[in-house]
Amino acid sequence: MVTFMEDIYEKAKKKPAKVVLPEGNDERTVEAAVKATQLGIAKVVMLGNPDKIKQIASEKKLSLDGIEIIDIDNLPNLDEYANEFYEIRKAKGMTLEEAKNIMKRDVYYGAMMVRKGIVDTFVAGAMNTTSDVSRAAIYLIGMKEGIKTLSSFFVMILPDKSFGKDGILFYSDGGLVIDPDPEQLSDIAVTTGATYRELIGEEPRIAMLSFSTKGSAKHARIDKVTKALELAKKKDPTLIIDGEMQADAALIPAVGAKKAPGSPVAGKATVLIFPDLDSGNIAYKLTERLAKAEAYGPIYQGTKRPCSDLSRGCKASDIVNVIAINVVRLSKIN
Ligand X SMILES: CC(C)(COP(=O)(O)OP(=O)(O)OC[C@H]1O[C@@H](n2cnc3c(N)ncnc32)[C@H](O)[C@@H]1OP(=O)(O)O)[C@@H](O)C(=O)NCCC(=O)NCCS
Query: Taking contact as CB under 6 A, which single stretch among the options 67-75, 172-180, 190-198, 241-249 is the one that binds ligand X?
Result: 172-180
Strand 240-245 to 294-301 pairing: unpaired
Binding mask 43-82 for ligand X (x = CB under 6 A): ----------------------------------------
For ligand X, what does the binding mask look like between residues 203 and 222, x meaning CB under 6 A? --------------------
Please tell me the distance from the alpha carbon of residue 30 to that of residue 75, in angstroms, as a whole number. 19
Task: Name the residue among 298, 299, 303 with its Cα closest to residue 111.
Answer: 303
Site string for ligand X, 220-249 (x = CB under 6 A): ------------------------------
Contact between residue 122 and residue 22 where contact means Cβ atoms under 8 Å apart = yes
Break the chain down into helix, strand, coil percent, rounded to 5.
45, 15, 35
Q: Does 175 bind ligand X (CB under 6 A)?
A: yes
Positions in 294-333 near ligand X (CB under 6 A): 298
Is residue 187 within 8 A of residue 227, CB to CB? The reply is: no
Distance CA 138, CA 47 (A): 20
Instruction: Write down the least CB distance from residue 120 to ligand X, Å.
Output: 21
Note whether 149 binds ligand X by CB under 6 A. Answer: yes
User: Closer to ligand X at the Cβ: 12 or 150?
Assistant: 150
**Helix boundaries (H) for the chain:** 4-14, 27-39, 50-59, 78-89, 96-103, 106-115, 130-136, 182-200, 220-235, 247-251, 253-259, 277-290, 316-333
3-state secondary structure of 44: strand
| Cα 322 to Cα 296: distance, rounded to the nearest angstrom | 8
- The piece of 63-71, 169-177, 216-224, 265-273 that touches ligand X (CB under 6 A) is 169-177
Stretch that binds ligand X, among 14-22, 26-34, 176-184, 220-228 (CB under 6 A): 176-184
In the complex, the smallest distance separating the C-beta of residue 274 from ligand X, rounded to whole angstroms, is: 12
Q: Which stretch binds ligand X (CB under 6 A): 55-63, 78-86, 131-139, 203-211?
A: 131-139
**CB of 255 vs ligand X, minimal distance in Å:** 29
Instruction: Please choose, out of 111-119, 126-134, 197-205, 240-248, the segment that lies near ligand X by the rule CB under 6 A.
Output: 126-134
The sign of the torsion formed by the CA atoms of 132, 134, 138, 141 equals: positive
Contact 305, 330 (CB under 8 A): yes
Asked if 277 contacts 268 with a C-beta cutoff of 8 angstroms, the reply is: no
Residue sitting closest to ligand X (CB): 131
Q: Which is nearer to ligand X, 191 or 212 (CB)?
A: 191
| Distance separating alpha carbons of residues 134 and 150, to the nearest angstrom | 8
Select the residue interacting with ligand X from 138, 231, 240, 295 (CB under 6 A): 138
287 lies in the binding site for ligand X (CB under 6 A): no
Q: How many residues bind ligand X (CB under 6 A)?
A: 14
In 3D space, the residue among 195, 203, 181 whose CA is nearest the CA of residue 296 turns out to be 195
In the stretch 84-103, what mask flags binding to ligand X with x, by CB under 6 A? --------x-----------
Binding segment toward ligand X, per CB under 6 A, in 171-179, 230-238, 288-296, 315-323: 171-179
Residue closer to ligand X (CB basis): 69 or 99:
99
Residues near ligand X, by CB under 6 A? 92, 130-131, 134-135, 138, 149-150, 175-178, 281, 298
